[in-house]
Amino acid sequence: MFAVRTWPKGRCFFFGTLMFPMEMKMPNTDHVKGEAKKMEGRVKDAAGAATDNPKLQAKGKKDKLEGEARKAKGDLKDAMKPKK
C-alpha cells in the first residue's frame, strides 16, 4: 500500500518507500518504464547465462538496450520542456 505524506515544512514527501525532496522533479513515465525494461533485461540476461541459454541472453540484451533507449527518450522529453 502506498501513502503520500508531506513533512510539516513541506520539504519532502514519501511515496511508498521512496522519499523525494520537493525540489527534485518526479521522473516521467519514459524514465520509469525504461528502467523497468532494463531490469527485466538484466534478469533475462543473468537467467540465460545461468542456464546456458543464448536465446534468453540475447532477449535480455535486447531488453536492456530497449530500456536505455526509452530512458533516453525521457531525457529528451525533459530537455524539450520549457524551463520554469
In order along its 84 residues, the chain shows pLDDT tens digits of 444 454 455 444 444 445 555 555 667 788 888 899 999 999 999 999 999 999 999 999 999 999 999 999 988 888 888 776
Please tell me the predicted confidence (pLDDT) of residue 2: 45
Please tell me the predicted confidence (pLDDT) of residue 46: 95
Backbone angles phi, psi at 62, to 5 degrees: -65, -45
Please tell me the predicted confidence (pLDDT) of residue 66: 95
CA 68 to chain centre: 9
Please tell me the predicted confidence (pLDDT) of residue 25: 64
Q: Where are the beta strands (DSSP E) in the chain?
A: 4-6, 12-15, 18-21
Q: Which three cell numbers stand for residue 71?
A: 530512458
Please tell me the predicted confidence (pLDDT) of residue 8: 52
Integer CA distances (angstroms), 54 to 30, 38, 44, 68, in order: 28, 18, 10, 21
Report the alpha-carbon distance of residue 38 to residue 63 in Å, rounded.
6
